[in-house]
Structure 1
Amino acid sequence: MGDGRLRALPPVRAVPAGQVRDALAGTPTVVVLDDDPTGTQTIRDLPVLTRWGADDVDWALAQGTPAFFVLTNTRSLGPDDAAARDREVVRTCLEAARRARKDVVFASRGDSTLRGHFPLETDVIAEETGEPDAVILAPAYTDAGRITLDGVHWLRDGDELTPIAESEFAADATFGYRSSRLADWVAEKSGGAITDVAELRIETLRAGPPVLPTARVIALDAVVDDDLRAAVLAILAAERDGTRFVYRVGPSFVRARVGQPEQPPIGDVELRDTVGGGHGLVVVGSHVGRTSRQLERLAARRDLARVELDVHRVLDGDDEHLEDAAMTLVENLTTSTTLLATSRTLVTGRDEAESLDIARRVSAALTGVTARVVAASPPAYVLAKGGITSSDVATASLRADRAWVRGSLLPGIVSLWAPTSGPPLVVFAGNVGDDDALADVVDRLEAAACA
């Protein structure tokens, strides 16, 4: 399967977001277990928790929103730890829902490039909630060009399509895979245990109100959000009739499921009201090629104060290196936008477990230095580049236990969180945006901070 072009498709069947909102009355609250914080990029004005104590979940349920996010960060964990964390979160949420006399349904938000613990995470949810009738599989992220068509998941660039298994993401050291057809991917990731996969194709979604097929996993085609909203209406109807689902989804499904339309980025006035004065701290842990190109463009456009953590010195336990980095960052923030990044050579281990351990140790160094900087001299904002980096900055550096997602800084990507205390956090996935995206976002933030 090689590169191709988008084939002629049936006309889009318009399904307004308002139609989904009307159908949400009396439906369960969606608890989105987000395996890194980038699942919030497509939505706005929903709560997000980075801790899941009973009082935190009580607070989120009390907000009365159709969904809330719980940042589990399980993509950075090994399988056993990921399962244990998911189990703890689900049990806490079920108990809170019982206290509040509310119903909940769970979404496992995974990466739109198919990386993450599947089917482990949906299996854990199923064990804790009772076996569902089906898992809804919808990894599409339409804003970022990740679409599903004819049961195959693609990277889209205009009308050009590349099968996802031929992308750099499929070669991930921890979560790599060989299959682009979702049915084959499910079989691959489950070790052949799950082969009962039905495809809800684009022709069915656009022909009229669809009927969901019957299977253990239902894979949704989606090229635009109207396709997802059409599927959501069918899902809600089935749930009202007693069918029980667990969702394994990308960012776009969440937006469709809560009845939010595609929305423009946050306006300049709202951005100024959210961002503090001074300069911002940009923290980069992602090593994908896209991030490295974005860093080059940022450095070419803006006079940055740059501090680099040498990964080999981090892994050698060089604490003096970290202390020097923190002191330099605090000094630089008084006069300019400041960048904290790891050295760009990716260091991996001999196997999946060792690679994850290296990633965690490097992320711990980044977030530890960031925490020292924030405590000594809070920046106007913190921009975290990379999914695991964003999660660790939110939890370990900013201790943003509760926050509101205010919206995106670019169309459908790069979300702005307003924690209930502390500086705002910009969550910027490693694998989204064109080469100028990081520089464009920093330009907007600095203009707001210095206004």
Structure 2
Amino acid sequence: MGAINSTDKRLVNEVFDKIPAVDRNAVQEMLKNELANLNKKIIVLDDDPTGVQTVHNISVYTDWSVDSIEKGFGEQNAMFFILTNSRGFTSAETEKAHKEIAENVLEVAKKHGKDFIIISRGDSTLRGHYPLETEVLKETIESGSNTKFDGEVIIPFFKEGGRFTVDNIHYVQYEDYLVPAGETEFAKDRTFGYTKSHLGEWAEEKSDGEFKAENATYISLESLRALEVEKITNQLLEVSDFNKVVVNAVDYVDVEIFVISLIKAMKAGKHFMFRSAAALTKVIGGVSERGLLTREELIKEDSEHGGLIIVGSHVKKTTEQLEELKKCDFIEFIEFNVHLVLHPEEFKAETDRVIETSENLIRSGKSVAIYTKRERMDLGEGKKEEELKLSVQISDAVTSIVQRLNVRPKFIVAKGGITSSDIGTKGLEVKRATVAGQIKPGIPVWFTGEESKFPGISYIIFPGNVGAKTTLKETVELLGK
């Protein structure tokens, strides 16, 4: 990978060995006390279904109707998730959705007389509609209430995926090295690309210079590890004009110390918007630790049928993981030639072939892995819109595999954020799911709701960019033959 030659890469051990330890038990006691008095409903807007990768026993709603938000507010849990899937949206669709969400949340919050926090959960490798999403939320909430936002907290740390922020620079871990995010394949994303790894500069770049790196507030690891709660609280009290708050973090304890200060600042009357990866939600939602899910928890009924694995994501890591998965002799592999989308008749015949073959194999007890052709379709310069339209047709075809399935698989694994979102909402027709926990670090499992096509099935949402080469293979082996 090109980024590994970077002069800015750093050895993981060299960086981490310099960071002082802290008494986590003492921190957690302080955090518990602050959370007990928070008394706000926490609404997490997830731009793809992988954002629940750190939580368990939490509801995910797949629409943002007043009815669904009302149900979320009515739960005992302090926090619930709304899956927007906006990473698969155009800018116009994203804007419309976030305006609707903010308006509906305001309506329900007023009815219940309950204060709330909205967290915009984005990608830990900094892709997504930023700053559009948080700006629309800010403007809509401010125009519909007395709330005025002082600042925006940026915290893309995600330990399970090897994403760390040190000296205000966001890194992605590749084995023994930390590589600045701006030098990875993720930064070259065709839709959400960027060049800066320093988070203040990244926010400046993404906001076209509206917010300057020099005006951001930086919460340092030194300050966090020295437990300078009062100093950090004072830093937050000084934030104004929706300037950015960049939080450095290499472990959950850093987020915990920050949240203690954050709640103190909020109690003093400050209002913040949040753009974060999955770690913040676990901490501010007060979600307890739990071990990885076992096979007994995941496969609840004896089924003679095989499982279904669908691989859509095209990032390099997914392709490497697919190659490892092919070493499993108990799985039948079917390549779905999605490039035939350019020839509608042939594409329909190909989709029918994949579904029919899969159904027969699953019914006979064989697990099936369907994977889209690995080469990306490139129509050439200036054809982004056409490519996007074709990619939607491809996604619809992949989703139709689950929609049209007449046999209930033992389990379903979907690889890739947009793939797993479409299969969950359109293929399985889930309206509300419960996050059971994780099958591997950073890989969440939904138990589907009663209304879904296959109620109570274990649906494994495998992000495109998470895990080692062998993690997909290990996940499927755990689920069994």
TM-score where L is the length of structure 2: 0.88
Quick check: 1:430 aligned with 2:459? no
User: In the superposition, relative to structure 1, how do residues 248 and 118 fare at CA in structure 2: closer, same or farther (>3 Å)?
Assistant: same
Q: How does 1:267-306 map to 2 (within 5 A)?
A: 267-273=294-300, 278-306=305-333
Which secondary structure does the structure 2 equivalent of 1:301 belong to? coil
Match of 2:254 among 205, 211, 227: 227
CA distance 1:338–1:181, shift in 2 (3 Å): same
1:176 pairs with 177, 193, 212, which one?
A: 193
SS in 1 for 2:404: helix
Q: Distance in 2 between matches of 1:261 and 1:402?
A: 21
Pair 1:401 & 2:431 matched: yes
The reply to whether residue 41 of structure 1 matches residue 53 of structure 2 is yes
Q: Residue type of the partner of 1:87? A: K
| Deviation (angstroms), 1:399 | 0.7
- Cα offset, 1:37, TM superposition: 0.5
Question: What SS class does the counterpart of residue 299 from structure 2 fall into?
Answer: helix
- Cα distance in 2 for partners of 1:275, 1:403 equals 22
1:306 Cα deviation after fit:
2.0
Q: What whole-Å deviation, never above 9, does each CA across 1:63-116 have from its counterpart, x for those lacking one?
A: 221211100010011111111111112222221222222221100000000000
CA contact (8 A) 2:326 2:333 kept: no
Q: More displaced, 251-260 or 42-51? A: 251-260
Q: Which deviations, in whole Å up to 9, do the C-alpha atoms of 1:245-304 show, x marking residues without a partner?
A: 111000111111112355321134322338966321111110011111111111112332
Q: Which gives a bigger RCO, structure 1 or 2 (Cα 8 Å, sep 6+)?
A: 1
2:181 is aligned with 1:164: yes
Tell whether 2:208 aligns with 1:191.
Answer: yes
- Could you tell me which residue of structure 1 aligns to residue 479 of structure 2? 445
Q: How does 1:16-165 map to 2 (within 5 A)?
A: 16-17=27-28, 19-25=30-36, 26-130=38-142, 131-157=148-174, 160-165=177-182
RMSD: 1.9
Which among 379, 385, 397 is matched to residue 409 of structure 2?
Answer: 379
Q: How far apart in 2 are the matches of 1:113 and 1:157?
A: 13
1:368 aligns with 2:400: yes
Give, as a single letter, the amino acid of the residue that structure 1 aligns with 2:444: S
Matched, 1:313 2:324: no
Query: Aligned partners of 1:388, 1:175: CA distance in 2, in Å?
Result: 14
The runs of 5 or more residues in structure 1 that have no matched partner are none
Distance 1:346 1:288 in 2: 10
In structure 2, the CA distance between the partners of 1:158 and 1:338, relative to structure 1 (3 Å rule), is closer
Q: 1:12 aligned to 2:22?
A: yes
Going from structure 1 to structure 2, the CA distance change for 1:139 and 1:54 (only over 3 Å counts) comes to: same
| Matched-pair contact (CA < 8 Å) for 1:17–1:260 | no
Instruction: Summarize the Cα distance change of 1:41–1:302 in structure 2 as closer, same or farther, 3 Å threshold.
Output: farther
Q: What amino acid is aligned across from residue 84 of structure 1 in structure 2? A: K
> Aligned-pair distance for 1:315?
3.8
In 1, are the aligned partners of 2:45 and 2:84 still within 8 Å (CA)? yes
Contact 1:386 1:428 in 2 (8 A): yes
Instruction: Identify which range, 318-327 or 256-265, moves more after superposition.
Output: 256-265
1:415 aligns with one of 424, 444, 454: 444
- Displacement of 1:21: 3.7
CA distance in 2, matches of 1:377, 1:18: 49
Give secondary structure in 2 for the equivalent of 1:24: helix
Letter in 2 for 1:27: N
Relative to structure 1, the CA distance from residue 62 to residue 45 in structure 2 (aligned partners, 3 Å threshold; closer, same or farther) is same
Aligned mates of 2:127, 2:96 — CA distance in 1: 19
**Secondary structure at the counterpart of residue 273 of structure 1:** coil
Q: Distance in 1 between matches of 2:342 and 2:41?
A: 42
- Residues 206-217 of structure 1: matches in 2 within 5 Å? 206-208=225-227, 209=229, 210-211=232-233, 212-213=235-236, 214-215=238-239, 216-217=243-244
The aligned counterpart of 2:221 is 202
Q: Which runs of 5+ in 2 are unaligned?
A: 1-6, 143-147
Counterparts of 1:219 and 1:336 in 2: how far apart (Å)? 49
Cα separation, partners in 2 of 1:18 and 1:58, compared to 1, 3 Å: farther
Larger gyration radius, structure 1 or structure 2: 2
Aligned to 2:269: 242
Query: How far does the alpha carbon of each residue in 1:132-181 deviate from its partner, in whole angstroms, 9 at most, with x for none?
Result: 11100001111111000100000124652111111111111111111100
One-letter amino acid of the counterpart of residue 365, structure 1: A
Counterpart AA for 2:253:
D
Aligned letter for 1:243?
K
Cα distance change of structure 1 residues 158 and 298 upon mapping to structure 2, 3 Å threshold: closer
CA shift in 2, pair 1:2/1:392, >3 Å? same
Partner of 2:357: 328
Please say if residues 305 and 408 of structure 2, whose CA atoms lie closer than 8 Å, have aligned partners that are also in contact: no
Instruction: Evaluate the alpha carbon distance shift between residue 56 and residue 10 of structure 1 in structure 2; reply closer, same or farther with a 3 A threshold.
Output: same
Deviates more, 1:413-422 or 1:383-392: 413-422
> Identity percentage over the alignment?
32
Shift of 1:22: 3.3
- How far off is 1:18 after superposition? 5.3
